[in-house]
Amino acid sequence: MAAPNESMPPQGPVPPGDRRSPEDPAGSAGPVPPAEPGTVRGAAPAGTPTLEPRPIPPMPVEPAAEPVPLTITGVQLFWLRMPLVAPFETSYGRVDRRECLLVRLEARHPEAGPVEGWGEVVADADPGYSYETTGTAWHVLSEFVLPALPGRTFETPGQWRAAFEWVRGHPMAKAGVEMALLDARSRARGVPLWQEYGGDPGRRRIPVGVSVGIQPTLDDLLATVERWLERGYRRIKIKIKPGYEVEPVRALRERFGDIPLMVDANAAYTLADAERLEALDGYGLMMIEQPLHEDDLLDHALLQRRLRTPVCLDESVRHVHAAREALVLGSGRIINIKQGRVGGPTDARMIHDLCRRHGIPVWCGGMLETGVGRAHNIALTTLPGFTLPGDTSGSNRYYHEDVIDPPVRVGPDGTIEVPQEPGLGFRVVPERVERYTVRHRSWRAS
């Protein structure tokens, strides 16, 4: 071990009132009065913002689920590549096809016999939205999760979560499997999928909005929005980026008046751009979604205090812990819940429960899902705290041909019917899955 360097200042805790430091070894600035309990010692430069203390809500508990013993007999993983009807552009890039994974579980129930279950891994091909990609999910699932499933019995989603809690992160990968498990449970029990999600039986239809990508010109934007409004969508969300925010919003307000309108920045701004975002305050937006860096709940809290428009968090809420921190800090007034982003249906429900208890409205986000993910999102949206229209558009918003039949359809009143039959409520068409599959692997009980 190296000998201590005698020229170094003494290490270790500084006694209260001792103001010696490497810069001021004599402590000539004089003694410092003891810190107030609960405060952090350290000089804050004048003008440093502070946040008022707020109560810390307890962690929501995992919802109870009826035991339904399902023994996994086989697993299939499909990597799909599906062309989009039109390119979709956000502040971080443009895509013209969707690459996602579908998980198919085969399971056996003591009374119901063999059942299948489908789930979707919503990660993108590139790490623009989050660090997870189709490729990382393929790796984590095929190396660590799926080979361990055949032969195992799960009675509840909680047992599945406990078994794979050791896998850190990778929420989208894990969510795809939990979705498939919920689908299989609902088929084994003979109940609609929304019941597995703990939904409200009174919600027979869910109101939905549409997400509009960045358009080449304002005329294109106006024409696109007009088309979606004509089809009944209940709210319009447009993607923004620095320099493309006030103008498109002003143009939409001038043309369409008081429509339910919001914007999504996908983390493209910093607090230094606050004035641009303040300029949106006069346009009566429902919310500004994820304006700042995904890991910066503090700056979101400071920004929210400068805006009248509610801030909505998307990328920042990757788990229930972040949701709880955001509530305490006041980092936003609305949360977008994506079951993929937060680790699965159970985690989505826990965030919903937490927000509901604390008066934070939530809505269901989208990741350009195929019909499999869409069916799960419809079921999730039946929970009572989903009080704002989500991004679950009809299948034809992105695809000429979906992998499910019938496709998800949005009625002229901007709502989607909640299926009442067991399972997804839509048939997954094997030939279509095959048509778009570029990679496939399967595991069976030996």
Just list the catalytic residues.
239, 338
264 binds Mg ion (CB under 5 A): yes
> Residue 403 binds which entry of ligand SMG, Mg ion, none, with Cβ cut-offs from 5 to 8 Å by kind?
none
Give me the least distance between CB of 242 and Mg ion, in Å please.
16
Give me the least distance between CB of 32 and ligand SMG, in Å please.
47
> Residue 393 binds which entry of ligand SMG, Mg ion, none, with Cβ cut-offs from 5 to 8 Å by kind?
ligand SMG
Whose structure tokens read 């071990």?
1
Binding to Mg ion in span 404-433, by CB under 5 A: none
Give me the least distance between CB of 357 and ligand SMG, in Å please.
24
Closer to Mg ion by CB, 289 or 347: give it.
Answer: 289
Angle at 252 between CA 250 and CA 254, to 5 degrees: 70
> Residue 299 binds which entry of Mg ion, ligand SMG, none, with Cβ cut-offs from 5 to 8 Å by kind?
none
Closer to Mg ion by CB, 145 or 214: give it.
Answer: 214
Give me the least distance between CB of 313 and ligand SMG, in Å please.
11
In the bound state, the residue with its beta carbon closest to ligand SMG is: 366
Which of these ranges, 154-162, 194-202, 244-252, 260-268, lies near Mg ion under the rule CB under 5 A? 260-268
Closer to Mg ion by CB, 149 or 287: give it.
Answer: 287
According to DSSP, the residues that pair with 105 across neighbouring strands are 75, 117
Spatial separation of the C-alpha atoms in residues 420 and 353, rounded to whole Å: 23
Give me the least distance between CB of 248 and ligand SMG, in Å please.
15
234: region left, alpha or beta (phi > 0 left; psi from -120 to 50 alpha): alpha
Spatial separation of the C-alpha atoms in residues 384 and 202, rounded to whole Å: 9
Binding to Mg ion in span 169-198, by CB under 5 A: none
Closer to Mg ion by CB, 106 or 289: give it.
Answer: 289
> Residue 132 binds which entry of Mg ion, ligand SMG, none, with Cβ cut-offs from 5 to 8 Å by kind?
none
Secondary structure, 3-state, the chain = CCCCCCCCCCCCCCCCCCCCCCCCCCCCCCCCCCCCCCCCCCCCCCCCCCCCCCCCCCCCCCCCCCCCCEEEEEEEEEEEEEEEEEEEEECCEEEEEEEEEEEEEEEEECCCEEEEEEEEECCECCCCCCCCEHHHHHHHHHHHHHHHCCCCEECCHHHHHHHCCCCCCCHHHHHHHHHHHHHHHHHHHCCEHHHHCCCCCCCCEEEECEEECCCCCHHHHHHHHHHHHHCCCCCEEEECECCECHHHHHHHHHHHCCCCEEEECCCCCCHHHHHHHHHHHHHCCCCEECCCCCCCHHHHHHHHHHCCCCEEECCCCCCHHHHHHHHHHCCCCEEEECHHHHCCHHHHHHHHHHHHHCCCCEEECCCCCCHHHHHHHHHHCCCCCECCCECCCCHHHCCCCCCEECCCCCCCCCEEECCCCEECCCEECHHHHHHHEEEEEEEECC
Q: Which residues bind ligand SMG (CB under 6 A)?
A: 90, 124, 129, 211, 264, 266, 314, 365-368, 391, 393
Binding to Mg ion in span 285-304, by CB under 5 A: 289
Give me the least distance between CB of 392 and ligand SMG, in Å please.
7
How many CB atoms within 10 Å of residue 382?
A: 23
Give me the least distance between CB of 290 and ligand SMG, in Å please.
7
Closer to ligand SMG by CB, 297 or 337: give it.
Answer: 337
Closer to ligand SMG by CB, 117 or 209: give it.
Answer: 209
Give me the least distance between CB of 176 and Mg ion, in Å please.
19
> Residue 391 binds which entry of ligand SMG, Mg ion, none, with Cβ cut-offs from 5 to 8 Å by kind?
ligand SMG
Which of these ranges, 121-129, 160-168, 256-264, 341-349, lies near Mg ion under the rule CB under 5 A? 256-264
> Residue 395 binds which entry of Mg ion, ligand SMG, none, with Cβ cut-offs from 5 to 8 Å by kind?
none
Which of these ranges, 153-161, 228-236, 271-279, 314-322, lies near Mg ion under the rule CB under 5 A? 314-322
Closer to Mg ion by CB, 203 or 293: give it.
Answer: 293
In the bound state, the residue with its beta carbon closest to Mg ion is: 314
Closer to ligand SMG by CB, 134 or 393: give it.
Answer: 393
Query: What length does the chain have?
Result: 446
Q: Contact residues for Mg ion (CB under 5 A)?
A: 264, 289, 314
